Amino acid sequence: MSDNTALSDLEVFAKRFLTGRINWWAIPRQSAIINFGNIISFVIYRKEQFQVELFIVPSTPSTFTTHKHPNVDVMEFGLTGNAALYINGKESCSEQDVLQWMSGNLQTVPIHIAPTDYHSGKGFTPYAFLSIQHWLNNVQPSSVGLDWEGQPSSAEQSILLTKVLLKQSEEV
């Protein structure tokens, strides 16, 4: 997390969530699980503009196209598996750090992804991560997989994004 003394709203929420200071079992009763084809999302907490999604990538190899989430400030925490995350074209963790983490010799490092950051990924084994989110611009939280600017990463995601765009055009 940030070295600055003033923590962002996202950092304050992430710290509270990860240290058990909030009831994280605020699971939405509807639409909490989304199958994007190459990744499964499970919203394990949502309150107002804050949300936590557990993402599971069960197949390998896997790839995710370059994209950004323009309405979400995100902090990600790897839980299990071997994957590479690229932010603005640069690897977020070295291969050596990933190997150290997988062997238990390195703690999980939070990775911040700003709404302006383009990112992509590759999975070498099945993997899972937590996505801790602060939704911005008065956008209702849903899934970062639906707040997506870039080419979809799967046919299933493409269909879901088309449905979101249709719904938004009907609301206007």
How many angstroms separate the first and last alpha carbons of the chain? Answer: 38
Structure confidence at residue 99 (pLDDT)? 77
Structure confidence at residue 137 (pLDDT)? 97
Domain-located, residue 76: yes
Q: What is the dihedral of CA 161, 164, 165, 168, to 10 degrees?
A: -160
Structure confidence at residue 62 (pLDDT)? 95
Domain-located, residue 107: yes
Domain-located, residue 157: yes
Domain-located, residue 145: yes
Which band of pLDDT confidence, cut at 50, 70 and 90, is reported for residue 26?
Answer: confident
- Whether residue 3 has pLDDT greater than 70: no
Tokens standing for residue 146: 């639906």
Structure confidence at residue 83 (pLDDT)? 92
Structural domain span for residue 95: 9-171
- Whether residue 55 has pLDDT greater than 90: yes
pLDDT tens digits, 135-155: 999 999 999 999 999 999 999
The whole-model pTM stands at 0.88
CATH number of 90's domain: 2.60.120.10
Domain-located, residue 20: yes
Counted domains in the chain: 1
Domain-located, residue 2: no
Structure confidence at residue 24 (pLDDT)? 60
- Whether residue 104 has pLDDT greater than 90: no
Domain-located, residue 4: no
- Tokens 């499964």, residue located: 40
Edge to edge, the sheet with strand 119-123 lists 90-91, 83-87, 119-123, 62-68, 149-150
Which band of pLDDT confidence, cut at 50, 70 and 90, is reported for residue 5?
Answer: low
- Whether residue 96 has pLDDT greater than 60: yes
Question: For the residues 47-58, what does the mean pLDDT come to?
Answer: 96
Q: Mean pLDDT lowest for which of 38-42, 74-78, 107-111, 153-157? A: 107-111
Question: For the residues 44-64, what does the mean pLDDT come to?
Answer: 95
Which among 46, 71, 61, 62 is positioned nearest to 132, based on CA atoms?
A: 46
Which band of pLDDT confidence, cut at 50, 70 and 90, is reported for residue 89?
Answer: very high
Domain-located, residue 135: yes
- How many separate helices (H) and strands (E) can be counted in the chain? 3, 11
Structure confidence at residue 125 (pLDDT)? 94
9: left (phi over 0), alpha (psi -120 to 50) or beta: alpha
